[in-house]
Amino acid sequence: MTIRHLATALVATLLWGIPAGAQSAADLLQKGIYAQETLGDLDGAIRSYRQVLTSYPANKQIAAQAQYQLVLCMVQKGDRAAASREFDALARNYPDQADFIAKARKLVPVAPILLPAPWPDGEAFQLNIKRDGAFTGEYLFYSTGPNPYPRAFTNSTPFGPADTPVPTQGVAMYGKLVTKRSTRSFWVAVDRETMQPLDKPHLSLDDDMGDPTAVPFAGPAIDIEPLVFRLRRLPLAVGYKTTLTTHPLVLGEGFPQQVELTVTGTETVQVVAGKFNCYKVSFGPLNQTFWIGVDGARSLVKIQSGKAEAELVKVWEKPVFDSAVAFLKTAGWTMRDPDKDPGQEVATSANTGPGGQWVNVNVRTAYTPPGDIAQALRQTMADKLEAVAHTGIAKEARVRPDSVQTRLIGGQQALICLVDQVDHSIHDGVPTTTEYYRYYAWIRTESMAIEFSSDSQVRGGIALFRFVFEPLLATAKIP
């Protein structure tokens, strides 16, 4: 411990026994600094600093330092939204304390002014990836929607939450990058107005060794900060410049860094989704260029990074789930509360009533070029078999060859098949085999992918389900 820390500790030890009302502003400040720097008790330090602000507002020098220490505490706690709020209070209430403001600004870079969000609630959009000028089947997908977990806990134990849940509200910002080698996604709940995060980001990636094909999109395109959405709210204009912090969700690139963007001009860009007048936004240090629409929703229209590009192919202004299952509700089937993923994938189940037939429903927002839909349906069937075979204990899954049917449902291409599934397990040392008979119906449109499924362990159970369900399925009107 240094001489300074020893002195601070001695002062704080003496102060700890003094009633709060008898402590001076300097005493409370030193008590907070001791708690923060020596004890590591950030919550105790915060209480002392707030007491300085409420009890001694006229002592501007000490109050400004207490406000600065609050910024530092929030940074140490990893709460950037709170750090930004405390910095705003410092700059607003103590404008003459230039030294404290300058030091705090280095900890919390001032965010650029944001325009009102130009997108509707529930918007989603997809950009398909080109490499060397050809589409590859890879894509970027983004969406906004309600925070799926609008309550967070202030504390927790190994056995679960301990304290009262605190509302976080806000809106969820979601992004996903799918390449031929990997899938990575993030979502974070942010304040609707400031876009400051309300909780830690939720991350997912499945490449243990890293995916070099994802690297060209490291940065704003796939980033644990929702920078794609922030870009669309900046007051862009030719010559506009600002600095953003990017924190890429890519192995080997996962360190936050400050990057400057410059609007170098405007261009008309033709992509699958249409023709757009765009701002051309250059991220020089990253060798990346983004095209952001000038008007309307200010869409992300195109990204270029070396020989890799991504072009806007589809925009959804609202989720597709309700339109996909409307025919079930019309028929009076009871729907369970859906499990809604921030990436606009919804899972639920429905039945005809007590003792009736059950169907599992999964609806995912996704763009498929019309000419690729038939192949996409076949690939979905193959992917499902592979997924079943790698789930849990040893399984076997086989499509009955004579069951595969292609047809139109609601005017859209569909594929129906039956799958025989065998689960092998051991109970109390005894090998056990369980047979299932599963029904699948997949519908694919330009805008969505839908899966209906049901299973039975009883011979004839699937036949009864089909007798009830398929006439109803024929009434579906899929947009």
**Would you tell me how many other CB atoms lie within 10 Å of the CB of residue 76?**
14
Alpha-carbon span 281 to 240, nearest angstrom: 9
Enumerate residues 6+ apart whose C-beta is below 8 A from 95. 101
Cα 185–chain centre separation? 7
Enumerate residues 6+ apart whose C-beta is below 8 A from 34. 8, 9, 11, 12
pLDDT in tens, 291-339: 999 999 999 999 999 999 999 999 999 999 999 999 999 999 999 988 8
**Mean pLDDT across the chain, nearest whole number?**
86
DSSP letter (8 states) at residue 369? -
pLDDT at 1: 44
pLDDT at 164: 47
- Rounded average pLDDT over 120-144: 95
Task: Note whether 439 and 454 are within 8 A (CB).
Answer: yes
By C-alpha distance, which of 317, 231, 320, 314 is closest to 274? 314
Alpha-carbon span 348 to 450, nearest angstrom: 12
pLDDT in tens, 250-266: 887 777 888 899 999 99
Alpha-carbon span 163 to 416, nearest angstrom: 48
pLDDT at 252: 78
Which residues are registered as beta bridge partners of 436? 421
Please state whether 136 falls in left (phi above 0), alpha (psi between -120 and 50) or beta.
Answer: alpha
pLDDT at 2: 46
pLDDT at 414: 97
How big is the CA angle at 150 (ends 146 and 154), to the nearest 5 degrees? 155
Domain boundaries, the chain: 3-107, 124-151+163-316, 321-473
pLDDT in tens, 308-318: 999 999 999 99
Task: Note whether 375 and 357 are within 8 A (CB).
Answer: no
- Rounded average pLDDT over 272-287: 95
Alpha-carbon span 295 to 62, nearest angstrom: 48
User: Confidence band (pLDDT; 50, 70, 90) for 110?
Assistant: low
How large a percentage of the chain has pLDDT more than 70? 89
Q: Edge to edge, what strands does the sheet with 124-131 contain? A: 202-205, 183-190, 171-178, 134-146, 124-131, 308-316, 300-305, 288-293, 274-283, 257-271, 241-246
By C-alpha distance, which of 185, 173, 154 is closest to 79? 154
- Burial of 402 by CB count in 10 Å (0-12 exposed, 13-18 middle, 19+ buried)? exposed
pLDDT at 111: 61
Enumerate residues 6+ apart whose C-beta is below 8 A from 40. none
At position 292, the amino acid (one-letter code) is I
- Burial of 103 by CB count in 10 Å (0-12 exposed, 13-18 middle, 19+ buried)? middle
Task: Note whether 128 and 313 are within 8 A (CB).
Answer: yes
Indicate the CATH number for domain 3-107. Answer: 1.25.40.10
Task: Note whether 325 and 350 are within 8 A (CB).
Answer: yes
- Rounded average pLDDT over 346-357: 87
For 123-186, the DSSP string reads -EEEEEEEETTEEEEEEEEEEEEE-SS-EEES-EETTEE-SPEEE---EEEEEEEE-SS-EEEE
Q: Which helix (H) or strand (E) holds 397?
A: strand 395-399
- Rounded average pLDDT over 158-175: 63
Among 180-184, 361-365, 422-426, 448-452, the least confident range: 422-426
At position 371, the amino acid (one-letter code) is G
Alpha-carbon span 304 to 132, nearest angstrom: 11
Alpha-carbon span 340 to 347, nearest angstrom: 7
Relative to beta strand 339-341, strand 334-335 is unpaired
pLDDT at 101: 84
User: Confidence band (pLDDT; 50, 70, 90) for 12?
Assistant: very low
pLDDT at 158: 39
Task: Note whether 150 and 167 are within 8 A (CB).
Answer: yes
pLDDT at 19: 44
Among 19-33, 237-251, 340-354, 428-442, the least confident range: 19-33
By C-alpha distance, which of 447, 143, 136, 186 is closest to 309? 136
Task: Note whether 277 and 297 are within 8 A (CB).
Answer: no
Topology of the domain covering 321-473: Protein Transport Mog1p; Chain A (3.40.1000)
Of 19 and 435, which is predicted with more confidence? 435
pLDDT at 392: 59
pLDDT at 162: 46
pTM: 0.74
Cα 187–chain centre separation? 1
Q: Residue 258, SS3?
A: strand
- Rounded average pLDDT over 383-410: 84
User: Confidence band (pLDDT; 50, 70, 90) for 20?
Assistant: very low
- Rounded average pLDDT over 172-178: 95
